[in-house]
Amino acid sequence: MLDFYLIPDSQNISSKGLMLERIGGIEYEAFIELQAAGIIESWLDYYGKFRWGNELVIRKQQQLRQLPAAAVSPGTRAAFMALLQQAAQAHCGLLAEGD
């Protein structure tokens, strides 16, 4: 599972004792589907760690809304949109960490 956490854009991820709120995750198949659709960058690794700032989260929301219905399965679209919406509403970015 690739877990997503809310992180303020001003927060340094190397801060000691950093506690972030996990807001959900996606399975490998959804990750690959979103990469193929161009929503998740091709160089990012499912088992790695990456971060998107709030501005990028909002851009990804717009990209996902503009995709043709057939580009991504309805379940993947709904689950990922929910993650993006939570971050956008909280005015935060997302930190992703694979396990």
Q: How many CB atoms lie within 10 A of CB 20?
A: 17
Contact criterion met (CB below 8 Å) for 39 and 63: yes
**Residues in contact with 9: Cβ distance below 8 Å, sequence separation at least 6, in sequence order:** 53, 54, 92, 93
d(CA 85, CA 46): 21
**What is the biggest distance separating any 2 CA atoms in the chain, rounded to whole angstroms?**
43
pLDDT of res. 16: 74
Global pTM reads 0.93
Segment 24-82, tens digit of pLDDT: 999 999 999 999 999 999 999 999 999 999 999 999 999 999 999 999 999 999 999 99
pLDDT of res. 7: 96
Q: Count the alpha carbons within 13 Å of 59 in the hemisphere toward its beta carbon.
A: 10
Domains present along the chain, CATH in parentheses: 2-98 (3.40.1760.20)
pLDDT of res. 17: 72
